[in-house]
């Protein structure tokens, strides 16, 4: 006979406020969407949020309101998380309700039809947001043919293919009987939290799988420009990206420091040269992402049409200089101080500390990244930061995405140094 394993419960106690947050986390997300049915994981979580079996969506919302509770079910690329908050005195009633929601969801046809219409409408609304269009196009091109390039909200075609039975099968395969982690933070003791979880949540016979099985990411060689053609644009959205780092990459913390110095603060050269010196964009920053495989590194700015190609060329020059020359010691020290000082805001509430612990268990983030963050940042040398930048950031292999009226920018972007191809795509595509 197979024995049930003890559910992992992470607890962050604090009696500062009479509130308790509870989170049920699964290691499943949009990576599990079948090809051609992107958006399925997100639709499943949204349908679960409509309430448990035997309770109408309206009655469920009324029960939450009577408990003074907030509740959300969120799907990311690698996780699905049910989060709820309530007053300490109403905690057990909320846990009963959440347990019903997760393991006895109603999955009603009328709710599904309504949510699917909402999802389709959200895709249409997204066409009005130029910055979102650029970000989506960057990931699609940077990770073409790879799971990291697929949108968690799907497309018009993929949503059309998803039926209620798809949602039910996805739930049954990935959530209904799968292992999970529980996090509890706020005004509750360890023994109370453990007792409530044992009393109301099911036990599982398997432990949570340690890693997501995804292939290595690969960047297309050369510099490739994609113009998302949208009429009557006076301002453009400009993204320039390549591959960044893996979570378990030895170069991660040196690269975090290096990227922060380059484009992570107002005083970095990216913001200074684009905004302060030339006034071409209100903002300009660079972002480093990491995952099981190498995720994206990218720069963003929003120059006007007349300066868009000039801004792109400037950013490419800044990128070349950053990779070739590395960091000066004062710049490194400023970035380290900034990261250390700002880290306290990631740890200043029990719910934030709980999220960090959940990331360790759920996403495979090394424990030392959380427990020794400041030491890892302080230990980075100029040589390590510069070597990490050269090893991981390739100025020669880039995807350049600009959301603009193509006829106004195409010829200028074709003349950017090292450009191998230029493609124009309609924004409604």
Instruction: Give the pLDDT confidence of 327-340 residue by residue, as tens digits.
Output: 889 999 999 999 99
CA distance 352 to 344: 10
By CB atoms closer than 10 A (0-12, 13-18, 19+), residue 316 is buried
Determine the pLDDT at residue 211: 63
What is the mean predicted confidence (pLDDT) over 375-385?
96
CATH of domain 223-426: 3.30.830.10
pTM confidence score = 0.92
CA distance 314 to 317: 5
Is the Cβ–Cβ distance between 98 and 71 less than 8 Å? Answer: yes
Q: Is the per-residue pLDDT at 283 higher than 90? A: yes
Q: Is the per-residue pLDDT at 3 higher than 70? A: no
Tens digit of each residue's pLDDT (9 = 90 or more) over 180-238? 999 999 999 999 999 999 999 998 877 776 566 899 999 889 999 999 999 999 999 99
Is the Cβ–Cβ distance between 237 and 402 less than 8 Å? Answer: yes
The CA-based diameter of the chain, rounded to the nearest angstrom, is: 72
For 227, residues 6+ apart whose C-beta sits below 8 A from its C-beta are 402, 404, 406, 409, 410, 413, 422, 423, 424, 425
Tens digit of each residue's pLDDT (9 = 90 or more) over 137-186? 999 999 999 999 999 999 999 999 999 999 999 999 999 999 999 999 99
What count of Cα atoms within 13 Å lies in the side-chain half-sphere of residue 314? 22
8-200 and 223-426: identical CATH topology: yes
Q: Is the per-residue pLDDT at 56 higher than 90? A: yes
Is the Cβ–Cβ distance between 309 and 416 less than 8 Å? Answer: yes
For 61, residues 6+ apart whose C-beta sits below 8 A from its C-beta are 51
Determine the pLDDT at residue 210: 56
**CA proximity to 264, closest of 254, 273, 256:** 256
CA distance 329 to 351: 36
By CB atoms closer than 10 A (0-12, 13-18, 19+), residue 170 is buried
Strand 398-404 to 290-291 pairing: unpaired
Helix, strand, coil percentages in the chain from 3-state DSSP, rounded to 5:
50, 20, 30
pLDDT band at 429 (very low <50, low <70, confident <90, very high): confident
Boundaries of every domain in the chain = 8-200, 223-426
Is the Cβ–Cβ distance between 291 and 327 less than 8 Å? Answer: no
What is the mean predicted confidence (pLDDT) over 300-325?
97
Asked if the 8-200 domain carries CATH number 3.30.830.10, the reply is yes
Q: Is the per-residue pLDDT at 1 higher than 50? A: no
Provide the mean pLDDT of the chain. 94
Q: Is the per-residue pLDDT at 374 higher than 90? A: yes
Determine the pLDDT at residue 208: 73
**Helix, strand or coil, per DSSP, at residue 221:** coil
Is the Cβ–Cβ distance between 169 and 15 less than 8 Å? Answer: no
């Amino acid at each position: 006979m197979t024995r049930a394993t003890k559910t992992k419960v992470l607890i962050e106690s604090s009696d500062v406020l009479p509130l308790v947050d509870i989170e049920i986390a699964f290691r499943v997300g949009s990576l599990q969407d079948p090809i051609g049915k992107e958006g399925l994981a997100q639709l499943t979580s949204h349908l679960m949020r409509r309430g448990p079996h035997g309770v109408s969506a309206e009655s469920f919302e009324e029960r939450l309101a009577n408990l003074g509770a907030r509740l959300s079910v969120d799907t990311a690329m690698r996780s699905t998380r049910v989060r709820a908050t309530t007053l300490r005195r109403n905690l057990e009633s909320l846990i009963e309700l959440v347990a019903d929601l997760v393991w006895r969801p109603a999955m009603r046809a009328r709710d599904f039809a309504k949510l699917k219409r909402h999802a389709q409408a959200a895709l249409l609304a997204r066409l009005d947001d130029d910055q979102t269009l650029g970000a989506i196009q960057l990931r699609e091109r940077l990770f073409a043919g790879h799971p990291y390039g697929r949108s968690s909200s799907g497309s018009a075609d993929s949503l059309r293919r998803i039926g209620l039975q798809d949602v039910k099968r996805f739930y049954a395969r990935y959530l209904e009987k799968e292992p999970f982690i529980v996090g509890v933070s706020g005004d509750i003791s360890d023994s109370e939290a453990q007792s409530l979880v044992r009393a109301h949540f099911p036990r599982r016979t398997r432990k949570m799988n340690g890693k997501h099985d995804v292939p290595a990411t690969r960047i297309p060689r050369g510099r490739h420009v994609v113009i998302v053609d949208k009429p009557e644009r006076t301002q453009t959205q400009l993204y320039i990206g390549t591959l960044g780092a893996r979570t378990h990459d030895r170069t991660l913390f040196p690269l975090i420091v290096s990227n922060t110095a380059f484009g992570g603060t107002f005083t970095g050269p990216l913001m200074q040269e684009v905004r302060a010196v030339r006034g071409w964009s209100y903002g300009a920053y660079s972002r480093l992402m990491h995952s099981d495989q190498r995720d994206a590194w990218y720069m963003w700015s929003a120059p006007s049409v007349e300066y868009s190609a000039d801004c792109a060329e400037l950013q490419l020059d800044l990128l070349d200089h950053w990779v070739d020359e590395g960091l000066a010691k004062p710049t490194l020290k400023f970035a380290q101080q900034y990261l250390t000082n700002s880290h306290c805001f990631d740890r200043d509430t029990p719910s934030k500390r709980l999220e960090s612990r959940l990331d360790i268990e759920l996403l495979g983030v090394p424990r030392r990244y959380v427990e020794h963050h400041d030491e890892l940042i302080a230990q980075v040398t100029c040589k390590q930061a510069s070597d990490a930048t050269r090893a991981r950031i390739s100025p020669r292999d880039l995807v350049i995405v600009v959301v603009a009226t193509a006829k106004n920018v195409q010829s200028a972007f074709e003349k950017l140094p090292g450009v191998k191809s230029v493609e124009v795509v309609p924004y409604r595509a």
